[in-house]
Every structure is written in structure tokens, then in C-alpha cells.
Amino acid sequence: MTAPGVASPCVRNCCLDERDVCLGCGRSLDDIRAWSEAGDAERLNILERAAARRAEREARYRSWQGGETG
């Protein structure tokens, strides 16, 4: 059996925020734990959720900085 083809989004900047979400890749602690056993379809779902979390965090940061435009 070969390993799934979807590469890990880990950027080796592992630090969890107050919601147990990695500041580096955007995955939740549960997503990180599930990654090694997940098939390609689930890994793609994890990547989508991680991207949404990163976008939400960036939007909150921009709003906090007063730099949100439009």
C-alpha cells in the first residue's frame, strides 16, 4: 500500500493558539492527529478547513490593526 499523495501542509512553525489551531499551517489539533491516517479525500478536506482558518485569522488581525479595507 502506498502513502496518500496529498502532502502535509506543515511549515515547521508549530504553535497552537487558544483554540488549538496551529499558527503555522492552520490545522486544528484534531486535524494534525488525523493526518497520518487520513486518505487523500480527507486530507483535502483538512487542507480546505486549514485555509479557511488562516484566512479568518488574517482577517481578524487586519481588523484588529485597523487595516481592513472594503
- Residue 4: per-residue pLDDT: 54
Instruction: Give the total number of structural domains in the chain.
Output: 1
Element (H, E) at 53: helix 40-65
Place 65 in a pLDDT band, splitting at 50, 70 and 90: confident
- Residue 69: per-residue pLDDT: 54
Give domain status of residue 6, yes or no. no
Give domain status of residue 39, yes or no. yes
- Residue 66: per-residue pLDDT: 81
Place 2 in a pLDDT band, splitting at 50, 70 and 90: very low
Give domain status of residue 16, yes or no. yes
| Predicted confidence (pLDDT) at residue 6 exceeds the cutoff of 60 | yes
Give domain status of residue 40, yes or no. yes
Greater confidence (5 vs 27) lies with 27
Give the whole-angstrom CA distance, residue 11 versus residue 43. Answer: 16
- Whether 25 and 9 have beta carbons less than 8 Å apart is answered as yes
Give domain status of residue 47, yes or no. yes
Give domain status of residue 44, yes or no. yes
Range of the domain at 27: 12-65
Residue 66 has phi, psi (to 5 degrees) of 80, 15
